[in-house]
Amino acid sequence: MSTVSEAGVVSAVNKELFIGGKWTAASGDATLDVTDPATGEVLCAVADASPSDGTAALDAAVAAQADWAEVAPRERGEILRRAYEKLMERQDELALLMTLEMGKPLAEAKGEIAYAAEFFRWFAEEAVRIDGGYAVAPNGAGRFLVTKQPVGPCLLITPWNFPMAMGTRKIGPAVAAGCTMVIKPAEQTPLSMLALAGILAESGLPDGVLNVVTTSDAGGVMEPMIRDGRARKLSFTGSTAVGKKLLEQCAGTVLRTSMELGGNAPFLVFEDADLDAAVDGAMQAKMRNIGEACTAANRFYVHSSVADAFSRKLTERMEGLAIGRGTEDGVVVGPLIDSAAIAKVSELVADAAQNGAKVLTGGATVDGPGNFYQPTVLTGVPAKARMSSEEIFGPVAPISTFETEQEALAAANDTEFGLVAYVYTQNIARAIRVSERLETGMVGLNQGVVSNAAVPFGGVKQSGLGREGGTVGIEEFLETKYIAIGGLS
C-alpha cells in the first residue's frame, strides 16, 4: 500500500475546471461539495460549472479539433500509452481517492484503476490500426477510396459507479481517433476525473483536447452544449431515463450518440451447472461494486432441483462478507452511494417481501453513519415484484425457480433491458442455444464478470446503442468518408 494519506490524495487533486489546458475557477467561484459515502463527511469542494463555463469548454474543444486531427496516429497512441503507465504507477493513490469519493473497497478500486488504464493501453494500440479501403469501380472506369476521419468534438457524460473506467472507455477511443472532447463526470465522483485530466496533461495531451467540467447542474450545463450544433457526438453512460432525455435533445442537431444505459441482468443456473462455480460467479456478478454495476445480476433464475442448495450456499457466502468503510482492511462491502440509493434498495426489498418473497439473510440497513445495506438473499421473488423489472443497484440477490429451459429464457427476456445475462450449465448444446436466444448484448457463460477493454461492451433494447472497447470501440468516434476518383483515363 502506498504511504499516501487520505488527506494527501484529496489535496493533490486540482479542484478547478480543466478548460483549454488551464485549471480555471467556475464563474462566480461557485463550488460543490464532494462527500465520503461511508461517513457522510465532506471531503473537499470542486468547481461548480455554470452553463457559460460549459460553453467555454466546448469553445476550447472546437478550437483544438483541427490541429488535433492532424496529429499522427502514432503520437496519439503514445500519449495514451504514457497515460496508461502513469495510471498504473499511481494505482494505489488513485484507488484511495476513488474509494473516498465513491465508497467501493480499496481492492476493487485498485482493480478499477487497472481496468481503466487498460482502455488507454488498448486504444494506444488501436490508434495506429484505423483502416480504409481502395477499390476499382464495378464498371472499371473509376476508383473508390474509403477513409476514416475523427467525428469531431465530442461530449462525454459518465456516471459515479465506475468513476475512472467509464471515463477512459470514452476518452481512450476519442483520443485515438483524433477527437477533442468535453467530459462531465458525475457530481458525486468528480475527483477521479480531475486526477485523470492531470495525468493526461502530463502525458502530453495538447491543450483543449480534453476539457473537464464538474457541475451540480448536469442538465443546465449539458443541454446548451448538446443543442449548440458544434459538437458532433454525445457518448453517455448512465441511466436509461436520462439517456432517453439526451436522445431527444440530440435529435435537434442529429448528434451522433453512443448510449451505455441501465441493465437488469438475469443469472440462469441450470440443473447441470457446476453449483460451486455458479455460486462463485453469482458472488462476482452480484457483489462487484457493492451491486452498483450496470452488469450486476439483478434476477437469479435457478432450476428447482438445485435451488435450495444454490440459495443455501449463496446465503452462507453473503453472510461471511465484511461490511465497512472501503479503506478498512478486509472490507468487501462498502457503502451505497447516497441515502437515496439506500431508500430505493429498502423499498424494493419491502415490496418483494410484501409480494411473498422470503428473506434468507440481510434485508435491512446497517446502523451508524454512512449508507450501508446488508448483503441480502431473497427467495420466491415473483415476477410482479418491482425488483424483477427495476435495477436494484445494491447488494440484494433475488432468487426465483424454473422448471424448463423455455421458461427460464422467457423469464430472462421479459424485460425492456438487454445489457448482459449470465448462464451456468455444463451442457455445451444448451450453453450455445441459450446464449444465442438471450436478448442481451453480452453473455457471461460460466463466468460472472464480462468487462474487458478488448471486447465490444454494450447492450440491446433499452440498455443502449453502440459498443465501447474492443476493435469496434474506436469506430464510435470515426466517420467513414468515401472519395470517388475519376478522370483516370
Indicate which residue of 154, 179, 250, 294 is catalytic.
294
Residues 224-253 that bind ligand NAP (CB under 6 A): 237-239, 242, 245-246
State in angstroms the smallest separation of the CB of 162 from ligand NAP: 6
The yes-or-no answer on residue 294 being catalytic is yes
Find where cell 483520443 sits: 175
16, 112, 118, 260: which is the annotated catalytic residue? 260
Site for ligand NAP in 405-434 (CB under 6 A): 419
Among 109, 200, 234, 261, binds ligand NAP (CB under 6 A): 261
Regarding 207 and contact with ligand NAP (CB under 6 A), the answer is no
By CB under 6 A, tell whether 161 contacts ligand NAP.
Answer: yes
* Sign of the dihedral defined by the CA atoms of residues 338, 344, 345, 350, in that order: positive
- Choosing from 218, 275, 353, 472, the residue that interacts with ligand NAP (CB under 6 A) is 218
* Shortest CB 214 distance to ligand NAP, Å: 9
At closest approach, how far in Å is the CB of 458 from ligand NAP?
7
Q: Is residue 133 within 8 Å of 146, Cβ to Cβ?
A: yes
Alpha helices per DSSP H over 181-251 = 190-202, 218-228, 240-251
Smallest gap from residue 345 Cβ to ligand NAP (A): 13
Q: How many residues bind ligand NAP (CB under 6 A)?
A: 29
Bridge partner list, 266: 299
d(CA 476, CA 174): 8
Of 184 and 303, the one with the shorter C-beta distance to ligand NAP is 184
Q: Which stretch binds ligand NAP (CB under 6 A): 123-131, 171-179, 261-269, 271-279?
A: 261-269
For ligand NAP, the closer of residues 158 and 327 by Cβ is 158
The Cα–Cα gap between 276 and 160 comes to 32
| Residue 450 binds to ligand NAP (criterion: CB under 6 A) | no
Is residue 260 annotated as a catalytic residue, yes or no?
A: yes
**Of 189, 170, 65, the residue nearest 120 (C-alpha):** 170
Q: Which of residues 347-406 bind ligand NAP (CB under 6 A)?
A: 391
Task: Judge residue 170's burial from the number of C-beta atoms within 10 Å of its C-beta, 0-12 exposed, 13-18 middle, 19 or more buried.
Answer: buried
Q: Does 59 bind ligand NAP (CB under 6 A)?
A: no
Instruction: Answer yes or no: are the C-beta atoms of 300 and 411 closer than 8 Å.
Output: no
**Cβ neighbours of residue 37 under 8 Å, at least 6 residues apart?**
102, 103, 188, 334, 335, 336, 337, 338, 370, 371
Please enumerate in sequence order all residues whose Cβ is within 8 A of that of 261, keeping only pairs 6 or more positions apart, or say none: 236, 237, 238, 239, 240, 243, 294, 417, 419, 459, 462, 463, 464
In the block, which residue shows the cell 451505455?
A: 260
Binding to ligand NAP (CB under 6 A): which residues in 273-312? 294
| Segment contacting ligand NAP by CB under 6 A, of 3-11, 200-208, 258-266, 355-363 | 258-266
Which residues on adjacent β-strands are paired with residue 21?
Answer: none
In the list 113, 176, 201, 222, the residue contacting ligand NAP (rule: CB under 6 A) is 222
Q: Work out whether 262 is an interface residue with ligand NAP (CB under 6 A).
A: yes
Residue 456 interacts with ligand NAP (CB under 6 A): yes or no = no
Q: Which helix (H) or strand (E) holds 61?
A: helix 51-70
The answer to the question of residue 266 lying near ligand NAP (CB under 6 A) is: no
Residues near ligand NAP, by CB under 6 A = 157-162, 166, 184, 186-188, 218-219, 222, 237-239, 242, 245-246, 260-263, 294, 391, 419, 459, 464
Which residues participate in catalysis according to the annotation?
A: 260, 294
